[in-house]
Amino acid sequence: MDILTEMIRTLREDTPVQEVRRGLTWTAVVSKRCGLASMLGSTGGCNHEATAGMERSFTEMTALELARNCNLSNDTATLSLGLAAVNSLIDVDISRCSDREGLQLARDIGKGKNIAVIGHFPYLADVAKVARNLWIIEKRPHPGDFSEEEGRDLIPRSDIVVISSTTIINRTLPGILDRCKEGAVKMLLGPSTPLTETFFTLGIDILSGSVVMDKDSVLKSVGEGISFMQLKKRGGVRFVTMIKDYDDILRRLKE
């Protein structure tokens, strides 16, 4: 199952696209609200069906039309745009969210546990201090990281699997979830994360993402190509976490 396709299928409302901003590191789409997604570089795989549907200006489409057209592509830059369009339509239930950041939560529940992290994030050293093992798995490994191939053996051994939400864009998320052992706690992490309970039905336990609070400030930041850490410092974005069932997570980690 393709995750982005499933996200699009579950959307029940649609709104015209008001604005699109595509920077070096982020993509933003404004429709019902301002949706963000990490900008992954173009892979050159944009197929004819996707480009044929893009002959109109983005702001002549609805957000759902834009997401559907982008989803026809295999090009990651186009899929980034599609995920931002999806995020622009999601009504985030703030009452279900806390301001506890995802890696802080992983550190708190991960004492003595094997933790796999798919992707690079700041502050992983703090998680490593309490984990039994911290395995960072990357497409382009840094020194000390593990490759995707090595990750195939490490993920099934992990009690907690922290997954970058960019895996929705490069369409590797389903394969990662399939390799997780039964009972493993699975977290989707990053500003691109769709904060919708739909993911709880797909096997994710924790969603840690972002809600744009100051659209104009964020659009300016996107256009300037700022990094994640710069975006966090500038503000305009609230980072929140949504948990399916915290007590159930603690129970599973004790078993």
**Which domain range does residue 195 map to?**
94-213+235-254
**Confidence at residue 47, expressed as pLDDT on a 0 to 100 scale:** 45
| Residue 196 resides in a domain | yes
**Confidence at residue 245, expressed as pLDDT on a 0 to 100 scale:** 96
**Confidence at residue 46, expressed as pLDDT on a 0 to 100 scale:** 45
Domain end marker among 87, 121, 138: 87
pTM of the complete model: 0.92
Residues contacting 167, CB < 8 A, separation 6+: 118, 119, 173, 176
Domain check: are 27 and 83 in the same one? yes
Domain end marker among 87, 103, 121: 87
Domain check: are 176 and 101 in the same one? yes
Q: Per the structure, how many domains does the chain have?
A: 2
Interval 112-141 mean pLDDT: 94
Asked if residue 205 lies in contact with residue 185, where contact means CB atoms within 8 angstroms, the answer is yes
Domain check: are 73 and 157 in the same one? no
Residue 63 pLDDT greater than 50, yes or no? yes
Mean pLDDT taken over the chain: 92
Domain end marker among 54, 72, 87: 87
Domain check: are 137 and 249 in the same one? yes
* Least confident range of 84-88, 181-185, 226-230: 226-230
Residues contacting 251, CB < 8 A, separation 6+: none
Interval 80-102 mean pLDDT: 94
Domain check: are 101 and 37 in the same one? no
Domain check: are 204 and 240 in the same one? yes
Domain check: are 122 and 241 in the same one? yes
